[in-house]
Amino acid sequence: MASAASRGWFHKKGREDSVSDPAVGTPAEQESHSPSVSLAAFDAIVDAQLNSSAPEDPSHSTENDPPTTTPSVDETDDLGFTDADSGDDQEEAPFHVKQSIENPVPADAHGPESAPAAPEATSPARASARVSVPAVSAAIDWDAATHAAMAEDAASATVGAPSPSAKAPLAEEVASLTRRRQAIAELVLPLPEKTRVLTISNQKGGVGKTTTAVNLAAALARLGAKVLVIDLDPQGNASTALGVEHRADVPSIYNVIIEDLPLESVVQKSPEEGELYCVPANIHLAGAEIELVSLVAREQRLRRALDVHLGEMDEPYHYVFIDCPPSLGLLTINAFVAASEVLIPIQCEYYALEGLSQLLKNIEMIEKHLNPVLRVSTILLTMYDARTNLANQVAQDVRDHFPQQVLSTIIPRSVRVSEAPSYGQSVVSYDTNSSGSLSYQEAAAEMARRGAPQVSARTGGK
Protein backbone atom coordinates (compact mmCIF):
# COMPACT_ATOMS: atom_id res chain seq x y z
CA MET A 1 0.00 0.00 0.00
CA ALA A 2 1.31 3.46 -0.86
CA SER A 3 2.43 5.75 1.94
CA ALA A 4 0.26 8.66 3.08
CA ALA A 5 2.58 11.22 1.45
CA SER A 6 2.76 9.42 -1.89
CA ARG A 7 -0.99 8.81 -1.93
CA GLY A 8 -1.67 12.48 -1.33
CA TRP A 9 0.61 13.45 -4.22
CA PHE A 10 -0.89 10.70 -6.35
CA HIS A 11 -4.46 11.94 -5.80
CA LYS A 12 -3.60 15.39 -7.01
CA LYS A 13 -1.51 14.15 -9.93
CA GLY A 14 -4.07 11.57 -11.02
CA ARG A 15 -6.93 14.10 -10.94
CA GLU A 16 -4.92 16.59 -13.00
CA ASP A 17 -4.11 13.91 -15.58
CA SER A 18 -7.70 12.82 -15.80
CA VAL A 19 -9.14 16.29 -16.37
CA SER A 20 -6.49 17.04 -19.01
CA ASP A 21 -8.09 14.59 -21.41
CA PRO A 22 -9.37 16.65 -24.36
CA ALA A 23 -12.20 14.16 -24.89
CA VAL A 24 -13.93 15.27 -21.72
CA GLY A 25 -13.21 19.00 -21.82
CA THR A 26 -10.88 21.39 -20.14
CA PRO A 27 -10.13 21.15 -16.40
CA ALA A 28 -12.18 24.29 -15.76
CA GLU A 29 -15.18 22.84 -17.62
CA GLN A 30 -15.02 19.60 -15.67
CA GLU A 31 -14.54 21.30 -12.33
CA SER A 32 -17.82 23.21 -12.71
CA HIS A 33 -19.80 19.98 -12.73
CA SER A 34 -17.50 17.41 -11.16
CA PRO A 35 -19.17 15.35 -8.40
CA SER A 36 -18.06 15.35 -4.80
CA VAL A 37 -16.12 12.14 -4.03
CA SER A 38 -15.48 10.63 -0.63
CA LEU A 39 -11.69 10.71 0.00
CA ALA A 40 -11.79 7.52 2.07
CA ALA A 41 -13.60 5.67 -0.69
CA PHE A 42 -11.21 7.09 -3.27
CA ASP A 43 -8.16 5.85 -1.29
CA ALA A 44 -9.58 2.37 -1.00
CA ILE A 45 -10.24 2.08 -4.72
CA VAL A 46 -6.82 3.49 -5.64
CA ASP A 47 -5.03 1.01 -3.37
CA ALA A 48 -7.03 -1.89 -4.76
CA GLN A 49 -6.26 -0.99 -8.32
CA LEU A 50 -2.55 -0.43 -7.52
CA ASN A 51 -2.30 -3.96 -6.14
CA SER A 52 -4.01 -5.55 -9.13
CA SER A 53 -3.06 -3.21 -11.96
CA ALA A 54 -1.47 -4.52 -15.18
CA PRO A 55 2.12 -3.53 -16.16
CA GLU A 56 2.37 -0.04 -17.32
CA ASP A 57 2.78 0.85 -20.95
CA PRO A 58 6.51 1.54 -21.40
CA SER A 59 5.79 3.79 -24.35
CA HIS A 60 3.98 6.26 -22.14
CA SER A 61 5.89 9.45 -21.49
CA THR A 62 5.46 12.50 -19.38
CA GLU A 63 5.87 14.54 -22.49
CA ASN A 64 2.29 13.51 -23.47
CA ASP A 65 0.96 15.50 -20.54
CA PRO A 66 0.48 19.28 -20.54
CA PRO A 67 3.21 21.15 -18.70
CA THR A 68 0.74 22.24 -16.04
CA THR A 69 0.61 18.66 -14.69
CA THR A 70 4.29 18.57 -13.71
CA PRO A 71 4.49 18.48 -9.90
CA SER A 72 6.09 21.39 -8.15
CA VAL A 73 9.22 21.18 -6.05
CA ASP A 74 7.15 21.22 -2.87
CA GLU A 75 4.99 18.33 -4.08
CA THR A 76 8.10 16.30 -5.04
CA ASP A 77 9.56 16.93 -1.61
CA ASP A 78 6.58 15.12 -0.12
CA LEU A 79 7.90 11.94 -1.72
CA GLY A 80 11.04 12.05 0.47
CA PHE A 81 13.66 13.04 -2.14
CA THR A 82 16.18 15.88 -1.94
CA ASP A 83 18.41 17.59 -4.42
CA ALA A 84 21.37 15.52 -3.09
CA ASP A 85 19.70 12.22 -4.06
CA SER A 86 20.99 10.75 -7.33
CA GLY A 87 22.01 7.54 -9.08
CA ASP A 88 20.88 3.96 -8.89
CA ASP A 89 21.91 3.63 -5.25
CA GLN A 90 18.88 5.70 -4.21
CA GLU A 91 15.79 4.06 -2.80
CA GLU A 92 13.35 2.94 -5.42
CA ALA A 93 10.55 5.41 -6.30
CA PRO A 94 7.31 4.74 -4.46
CA PHE A 95 5.45 3.70 -7.62
CA HIS A 96 8.09 1.27 -9.07
CA VAL A 97 9.49 3.32 -11.86
CA LYS A 98 9.53 1.32 -15.09
CA GLN A 99 10.95 3.90 -17.42
CA SER A 100 14.53 5.02 -17.22
CA ILE A 101 15.36 8.63 -17.17
CA GLU A 102 18.43 8.03 -19.30
CA ASN A 103 16.22 7.57 -22.42
CA PRO A 104 13.63 10.34 -22.26
CA VAL A 105 11.11 10.83 -25.04
CA PRO A 106 12.10 13.67 -27.36
CA ALA A 107 10.67 17.01 -26.44
CA ASP A 108 8.98 17.40 -29.81
CA ALA A 109 6.88 14.23 -29.46
CA HIS A 110 3.72 16.31 -29.70
CA GLY A 111 4.99 18.61 -32.35
CA PRO A 112 6.76 21.91 -32.18
CA GLU A 113 3.64 23.85 -31.17
CA SER A 114 2.78 21.70 -28.17
CA ALA A 115 6.34 20.99 -26.99
CA PRO A 116 6.76 22.05 -23.38
CA ALA A 117 9.51 24.31 -22.22
CA ALA A 118 12.75 22.65 -21.16
CA PRO A 119 12.57 21.78 -17.47
CA GLU A 120 15.10 23.00 -15.02
CA ALA A 121 17.91 20.65 -14.00
CA THR A 122 16.81 18.34 -11.23
CA SER A 123 18.15 15.27 -9.53
CA PRO A 124 17.65 11.84 -11.16
CA ALA A 125 15.34 10.79 -8.31
CA ARG A 126 13.01 13.74 -8.92
CA ALA A 127 12.96 13.01 -12.61
CA SER A 128 12.12 9.41 -11.86
CA ALA A 129 9.19 10.49 -9.76
CA ARG A 130 7.90 12.71 -12.54
CA VAL A 131 7.97 10.05 -15.23
CA SER A 132 6.59 7.23 -13.09
CA VAL A 133 3.28 8.70 -11.96
CA PRO A 134 1.59 9.00 -15.38
CA ALA A 135 2.20 5.31 -15.99
CA VAL A 136 0.41 4.38 -12.78
CA SER A 137 -2.43 6.83 -13.35
CA ALA A 138 -2.97 5.42 -16.82
CA ALA A 139 -3.57 1.99 -15.29
CA ILE A 140 -6.41 3.24 -13.05
CA ASP A 141 -10.00 3.56 -14.23
CA TRP A 142 -10.78 6.98 -12.86
CA ASP A 143 -14.41 6.98 -13.99
CA ALA A 144 -15.04 3.71 -12.15
CA ALA A 145 -13.36 5.05 -9.03
CA THR A 146 -15.43 8.22 -9.11
CA HIS A 147 -18.75 6.43 -9.61
CA ALA A 148 -17.96 3.90 -6.91
CA ALA A 149 -17.11 6.62 -4.43
CA MET A 150 -20.29 8.52 -5.28
CA ALA A 151 -22.33 5.36 -4.74
CA GLU A 152 -20.73 4.91 -1.33
CA ASP A 153 -21.51 8.50 -0.37
CA ALA A 154 -25.11 8.11 -1.46
CA ALA A 155 -25.46 4.92 0.56
CA SER A 156 -24.02 6.53 3.69
CA ALA A 157 -26.30 9.54 3.30
CA THR A 158 -29.37 7.34 3.62
CA VAL A 159 -28.27 5.92 6.97
CA GLY A 160 -30.57 7.28 9.68
CA ALA A 161 -32.95 8.89 7.16
CA PRO A 162 -36.68 8.66 8.05
CA SER A 163 -38.67 5.97 6.38
CA PRO A 164 -41.01 7.00 3.55
CA SER A 165 -44.01 6.18 5.74
CA ALA A 166 -42.91 8.59 8.51
CA LYS A 167 -44.71 11.97 8.49
CA ALA A 168 -43.21 15.34 9.22
CA PRO A 169 -44.68 17.27 12.17
CA LEU A 170 -46.34 19.79 9.85
CA ALA A 171 -47.87 17.06 7.71
CA GLU A 172 -49.15 15.30 10.81
CA GLU A 173 -50.75 18.53 12.06
CA VAL A 174 -52.44 19.15 8.71
CA ALA A 175 -53.76 15.59 8.68
CA SER A 176 -55.08 16.00 12.22
CA LEU A 177 -56.91 19.23 11.35
CA THR A 178 -58.43 17.55 8.31
CA ARG A 179 -59.74 14.65 10.39
CA ARG A 180 -61.22 17.08 12.93
CA ARG A 181 -62.99 19.09 10.21
CA GLN A 182 -64.48 15.95 8.74
CA ALA A 183 -65.71 14.79 12.14
CA ILE A 184 -67.39 18.15 12.82
CA ALA A 185 -68.96 18.23 9.35
CA GLU A 186 -70.58 14.85 10.02
CA LEU A 187 -71.71 15.79 13.53
CA VAL A 188 -75.41 15.78 14.41
CA LEU A 189 -75.94 18.03 17.44
CA PRO A 190 -78.43 16.85 20.08
CA LEU A 191 -80.74 19.73 21.05
CA PRO A 192 -82.03 20.11 24.62
CA GLU A 193 -85.73 19.77 25.34
CA LYS A 194 -85.65 22.80 27.66
CA THR A 195 -83.68 25.99 27.47
CA ARG A 196 -80.25 25.72 29.06
CA VAL A 197 -79.17 28.99 30.71
CA LEU A 198 -75.44 29.17 31.39
CA THR A 199 -73.55 31.91 33.18
CA ILE A 200 -69.94 32.21 32.02
CA SER A 201 -68.06 33.59 35.00
CA ASN A 202 -64.63 33.89 36.57
CA GLN A 203 -63.66 36.72 38.87
CA LYS A 204 -60.22 36.87 37.27
CA GLY A 205 -60.03 38.94 34.12
CA GLY A 206 -58.38 37.85 30.89
CA VAL A 207 -59.19 34.14 31.14
CA GLY A 208 -61.40 34.06 28.03
CA LYS A 209 -64.93 34.56 29.39
CA THR A 210 -66.17 36.73 26.53
CA THR A 211 -64.27 34.76 23.92
CA THR A 212 -65.74 31.52 25.24
CA ALA A 213 -69.29 32.90 25.39
CA VAL A 214 -69.15 34.26 21.85
CA ASN A 215 -67.51 31.28 20.18
CA LEU A 216 -69.49 28.59 21.96
CA ALA A 217 -72.68 30.41 21.00
CA ALA A 218 -71.54 30.79 17.38
CA ALA A 219 -70.51 27.14 17.21
CA LEU A 220 -73.86 25.91 18.57
CA ALA A 221 -75.78 28.19 16.21
CA ARG A 222 -73.70 26.92 13.31
CA LEU A 223 -74.59 23.36 14.31
CA GLY A 224 -78.32 24.12 14.28
CA ALA A 225 -79.19 25.47 17.74
CA LYS A 226 -81.05 28.68 18.53
CA VAL A 227 -78.84 30.73 20.84
CA LEU A 228 -79.07 33.99 22.80
CA VAL A 229 -76.06 35.82 24.25
CA ILE A 230 -76.70 38.37 27.03
CA ASP A 231 -73.80 40.79 27.35
CA LEU A 232 -73.63 41.74 31.03
CA ASP A 233 -70.14 43.24 30.87
CA PRO A 234 -70.03 47.09 30.73
CA GLN A 235 -67.12 46.84 28.25
CA GLY A 236 -69.48 45.40 25.64
CA ASN A 237 -66.90 43.09 24.07
CA ALA A 238 -69.37 40.31 23.36
CA SER A 239 -71.58 42.78 21.50
CA THR A 240 -68.60 43.85 19.40
CA ALA A 241 -67.59 40.27 18.59
CA LEU A 242 -71.11 39.37 17.48
CA GLY A 243 -71.35 42.43 15.23
CA VAL A 244 -74.34 44.16 16.89
CA GLU A 245 -74.77 47.86 17.65
CA HIS A 246 -74.07 48.92 21.23
CA ARG A 247 -73.68 52.67 21.15
CA ALA A 248 -74.78 54.74 24.14
CA ASP A 249 -78.13 55.56 22.51
CA VAL A 250 -78.95 51.93 21.65
CA PRO A 251 -81.35 50.13 24.07
CA SER A 252 -79.35 47.58 26.04
CA ILE A 253 -79.40 45.25 29.01
CA TYR A 254 -79.06 48.31 31.24
CA ASN A 255 -82.57 49.42 30.28
CA VAL A 256 -83.90 45.95 31.07
CA ILE A 257 -82.35 45.70 34.56
CA ILE A 258 -82.78 49.29 35.72
CA GLU A 259 -85.82 50.53 33.79
CA ASP A 260 -87.77 47.24 33.49
CA LEU A 261 -87.74 47.38 29.68
CA PRO A 262 -88.91 44.06 28.13
CA LEU A 263 -86.00 41.89 27.10
CA GLU A 264 -87.58 41.23 23.71
CA SER A 265 -87.26 44.92 22.79
CA VAL A 266 -83.46 44.95 23.03
CA VAL A 267 -82.66 41.62 21.36
CA GLN A 268 -80.70 41.98 18.10
CA LYS A 269 -80.00 39.39 15.40
CA SER A 270 -76.30 38.74 14.92
CA PRO A 271 -74.92 38.59 11.37
CA GLU A 272 -73.24 35.30 12.32
CA GLU A 273 -74.38 32.10 10.64
CA GLY A 274 -77.45 30.42 12.12
CA GLU A 275 -79.99 31.63 14.65
CA LEU A 276 -77.75 33.67 16.92
CA TYR A 277 -79.11 36.64 18.87
CA CYS A 278 -77.57 39.13 21.25
CA VAL A 279 -78.67 41.51 24.02
CA PRO A 280 -76.02 44.26 23.86
CA ALA A 281 -74.33 46.18 26.68
CA ASN A 282 -73.10 49.76 26.57
CA ILE A 283 -71.32 52.24 28.79
CA HIS A 284 -74.43 52.93 30.90
CA LEU A 285 -74.07 49.50 32.47
CA ALA A 286 -70.98 50.69 34.32
CA GLY A 287 -73.20 52.62 36.77
CA ALA A 288 -75.74 49.83 37.20
CA GLU A 289 -73.91 48.38 40.20
CA ILE A 290 -74.62 51.54 42.22
CA GLU A 291 -78.17 51.95 40.99
CA LEU A 292 -79.08 48.34 41.82
CA VAL A 293 -78.31 48.88 45.50
CA SER A 294 -81.55 50.79 46.13
CA LEU A 295 -83.83 48.69 43.90
CA VAL A 296 -86.26 46.05 45.12
CA ALA A 297 -85.30 42.41 44.43
CA ARG A 298 -82.02 43.66 43.02
CA GLU A 299 -80.53 40.14 42.68
CA GLN A 300 -83.45 38.75 40.64
CA ARG A 301 -84.16 41.45 38.08
CA LEU A 302 -82.41 39.71 35.18
CA ARG A 303 -84.01 36.37 36.03
CA ARG A 304 -87.53 37.79 35.95
CA ALA A 305 -86.98 39.55 32.62
CA LEU A 306 -85.52 36.39 31.06
CA ASP A 307 -88.31 34.15 32.35
CA VAL A 308 -90.95 36.44 30.88
CA HIS A 309 -89.18 36.56 27.54
CA LEU A 310 -88.81 32.77 27.32
CA GLY A 311 -92.42 32.23 28.36
CA GLU A 312 -93.69 34.43 25.52
CA MET A 313 -91.72 32.71 22.74
CA ASP A 314 -93.31 30.09 20.52
CA GLU A 315 -89.90 28.58 19.80
CA PRO A 316 -87.66 29.38 22.75
CA TYR A 317 -83.89 29.35 22.61
CA HIS A 318 -81.99 26.15 23.09
CA TYR A 319 -79.14 27.94 24.84
CA VAL A 320 -78.75 31.25 26.66
CA PHE A 321 -75.22 32.41 27.53
CA ILE A 322 -74.72 35.25 30.02
CA ASP A 323 -71.32 36.92 29.77
CA CYS A 324 -70.31 38.29 33.19
CA PRO A 325 -67.88 41.06 34.15
CA PRO A 326 -64.64 40.06 35.95
CA SER A 327 -66.00 40.73 39.42
CA LEU A 328 -68.36 39.35 42.04
CA GLY A 329 -70.69 42.33 42.22
CA LEU A 330 -74.44 42.65 41.78
CA LEU A 331 -74.29 42.17 38.02
CA THR A 332 -72.57 38.80 38.47
CA ILE A 333 -75.03 37.85 41.21
CA ASN A 334 -77.92 38.65 38.83
CA ALA A 335 -76.33 36.33 36.28
CA PHE A 336 -75.98 33.51 38.85
CA VAL A 337 -79.61 33.84 39.92
CA ALA A 338 -80.87 33.89 36.32
CA ALA A 339 -78.94 30.75 35.27
CA SER A 340 -79.17 27.08 36.10
CA GLU A 341 -75.60 26.24 35.12
CA VAL A 342 -72.21 27.85 35.55
CA LEU A 343 -69.47 27.51 32.94
CA ILE A 344 -66.04 28.47 34.27
CA PRO A 345 -63.24 29.16 31.77
CA ILE A 346 -59.83 28.65 33.36
CA GLN A 347 -56.63 29.92 31.84
CA CYS A 348 -53.86 27.36 32.16
CA GLU A 349 -51.79 29.51 34.51
CA TYR A 350 -51.38 29.72 38.28
CA TYR A 351 -53.31 32.98 38.88
CA ALA A 352 -56.44 31.50 37.32
CA LEU A 353 -56.37 28.73 39.91
CA GLU A 354 -55.81 31.09 42.82
CA GLY A 355 -59.25 32.75 42.60
CA LEU A 356 -61.16 29.60 41.74
CA SER A 357 -61.79 28.63 45.38
CA GLN A 358 -63.36 32.01 46.14
CA LEU A 359 -65.57 31.76 43.06
CA LEU A 360 -66.81 28.34 44.14
CA LYS A 361 -67.64 29.66 47.60
CA ASN A 362 -69.75 32.45 46.09
CA ILE A 363 -71.56 29.99 43.83
CA GLU A 364 -72.30 27.81 46.84
CA MET A 365 -73.70 30.81 48.69
CA ILE A 366 -75.95 31.75 45.74
CA GLU A 367 -77.14 28.16 45.52
CA LYS A 368 -78.00 28.11 49.21
CA HIS A 369 -79.85 31.42 49.47
CA LEU A 370 -81.01 32.57 46.01
CA ASN A 371 -80.92 29.81 43.38
CA PRO A 372 -81.08 26.21 44.62
CA VAL A 373 -80.79 24.72 41.09
CA LEU A 374 -77.49 26.42 40.30
CA ARG A 375 -74.66 23.98 39.49
CA VAL A 376 -71.14 24.17 38.11
CA SER A 377 -71.73 22.03 35.05
CA THR A 378 -68.75 22.84 32.81
CA ILE A 379 -65.12 23.88 33.20
CA LEU A 380 -63.21 24.75 30.05
CA LEU A 381 -59.42 25.04 29.90
CA THR A 382 -58.38 27.97 27.73
CA MET A 383 -55.17 29.55 26.38
CA TYR A 384 -53.41 26.22 26.62
CA ASP A 385 -49.77 26.14 25.53
CA ALA A 386 -48.54 22.55 25.27
CA ARG A 387 -44.90 23.71 25.14
CA THR A 388 -44.89 24.71 28.81
CA ASN A 389 -44.83 22.42 31.82
CA LEU A 390 -46.94 24.92 33.78
CA ALA A 391 -49.89 24.59 31.40
CA ASN A 392 -49.77 20.80 31.63
CA GLN A 393 -49.56 20.93 35.42
CA VAL A 394 -52.49 23.35 35.77
CA ALA A 395 -54.60 21.28 33.40
CA GLN A 396 -53.87 18.12 35.36
CA ASP A 397 -54.63 19.78 38.72
CA VAL A 398 -58.00 21.00 37.47
CA ARG A 399 -58.87 17.59 36.11
CA ASP A 400 -57.93 15.94 39.39
CA HIS A 401 -60.22 18.24 41.42
CA PHE A 402 -63.14 18.42 38.92
CA PRO A 403 -63.11 15.18 36.94
CA GLN A 404 -66.80 15.39 36.00
CA GLN A 405 -66.97 19.04 35.04
CA VAL A 406 -63.81 19.55 32.94
CA LEU A 407 -64.31 19.14 29.20
CA SER A 408 -61.82 16.92 27.43
CA THR A 409 -61.50 19.58 24.73
CA ILE A 410 -58.86 22.21 25.44
CA ILE A 411 -58.76 25.63 23.78
CA PRO A 412 -55.20 26.36 22.57
CA ARG A 413 -53.59 29.74 22.18
CA SER A 414 -54.45 30.94 18.70
CA VAL A 415 -53.78 34.16 16.82
CA ARG A 416 -57.01 33.70 14.87
CA VAL A 417 -59.06 33.75 18.06
CA SER A 418 -57.52 37.12 18.98
CA GLU A 419 -57.92 38.56 15.47
CA ALA A 420 -61.59 37.71 14.97
CA PRO A 421 -63.16 40.39 17.26
CA SER A 422 -61.39 43.17 15.35
CA TYR A 423 -63.49 42.14 12.32
CA GLY A 424 -66.71 41.97 14.35
CA GLN A 425 -66.81 38.18 14.07
CA SER A 426 -66.37 35.05 16.09
CA VAL A 427 -63.45 32.84 15.20
CA VAL A 428 -65.93 30.22 14.02
CA SER A 429 -66.98 32.46 11.14
CA TYR A 430 -63.70 34.36 10.77
CA ASP A 431 -61.59 31.25 10.13
CA THR A 432 -63.66 28.10 10.36
CA ASN A 433 -60.75 25.76 9.69
CA SER A 434 -58.32 27.22 12.22
CA SER A 435 -57.30 25.23 15.29
CA GLY A 436 -59.07 27.67 17.63
CA SER A 437 -62.32 27.45 15.68
CA LEU A 438 -62.23 23.66 15.57
CA SER A 439 -61.55 23.50 19.30
CA TYR A 440 -64.54 25.69 20.16
CA GLN A 441 -66.79 23.68 17.87
CA GLU A 442 -65.61 20.47 19.52
CA ALA A 443 -66.16 21.97 22.97
CA ALA A 444 -69.67 23.05 22.00
CA ALA A 445 -70.49 19.59 20.70
CA GLU A 446 -69.11 17.94 23.85
CA MET A 447 -71.13 20.28 26.07
CA ALA A 448 -74.27 19.53 24.05
CA ARG A 449 -73.77 15.77 24.33
CA ARG A 450 -73.29 15.97 28.09
CA GLY A 451 -76.58 17.76 28.53
CA ALA A 452 -77.76 19.72 31.55
CA PRO A 453 -77.20 18.36 35.07
CA GLN A 454 -80.15 16.45 36.48
CA VAL A 455 -81.76 18.89 38.90
CA SER A 456 -85.32 19.86 39.61
CA ALA A 457 -86.77 22.51 37.30
CA ARG A 458 -86.98 25.92 38.81
CA THR A 459 -90.27 27.67 39.39
CA GLY A 460 -91.31 30.12 36.72
CA GLY A 461 -88.85 28.84 34.11
CA LYS A 462 -89.66 27.20 30.85
Among residues 5, 18, 17, 3, which one has the least CA distance to residue 50?
Answer: 3
Q: Give per-residue burial for 214-241: e unless 16+ CB within 10 Å, then b.
A: bbbbbbbbbbebbbbbbbbbbbbbbbbb
A 10 A CB-CB count for 259 gives: 9
Q: Give a three-class secondary structure readout of 229-279.
A: EEECCCCCHHHHHCCCCCCCCCCCHHHHHHHCCCHHHHCEECCCCCEEEEE
Rg (CA), the chain: 43
> Which residues does residue 378 pair with via DSSP β-bridges, in sequence order?
343
Using one digit for the tens of pLDDT, what is the confidence trace for 318-370? Answer: 999 999 998 888 999 999 999 999 999 998 888 777 778 888 888 999 999 99
CA dist., res. 29 & res. 241, Å (int): 66
CATH top class, domain 192-450? alpha beta
Extract the runs of DSSP E, i.e. beta strands, from 264-325: 268-269, 275-279, 319-323
What pLDDT was estimated at residue 145? Answer: 66
CA dist., res. 132 & res. 29, Å (int): 27
What pLDDT was estimated at residue 454? Answer: 58
Give me the residue spans of the domains in the chain.
4-34+55-138, 192-450
Using one digit for the tens of pLDDT, what is the confidence trace for 275-326? Answer: 999 999 998 998 898 999 988 889 999 999 999 999 999 999 999 999 999 8
Distance of CA 183 to the CA centre of its chain: 22
Using one digit for the tens of pLDDT, what is the confidence trace for 209-228? Answer: 999 999 999 999 998 999 99
What pLDDT was estimated at residue 135? Answer: 45
What pLDDT was estimated at residue 13? Answer: 47
> Which residues does residue 140 pair with via DSSP β-bridges, in sequence order?
none
Strand order in the sheet with 406-412: 268-269, 275-279, 226-231, 319-323, 196-200, 341-347, 375-384, 406-412
Mean pLDDT of residues grouped by 10 in the chain (462 residues)? 48 47 48 52 67 52 50 46 46 47 49 47 45 47 68 59 58 79 81 93 87 95 94 92 90 93 94 93 90 90 94 93 90 94 90 81 91 93 88 89 91 90 90 91 92 53 38
CA dist., res. 438 & res. 442, Å (int): 6
Q: Give per-residue burial for 132-149: e unless 16+ CB within 10 Å, then b.
A: bbbbbbebbebeebbebb
What pLDDT was estimated at residue 241? Answer: 92
Q: Which amino acid is at 411?
A: I
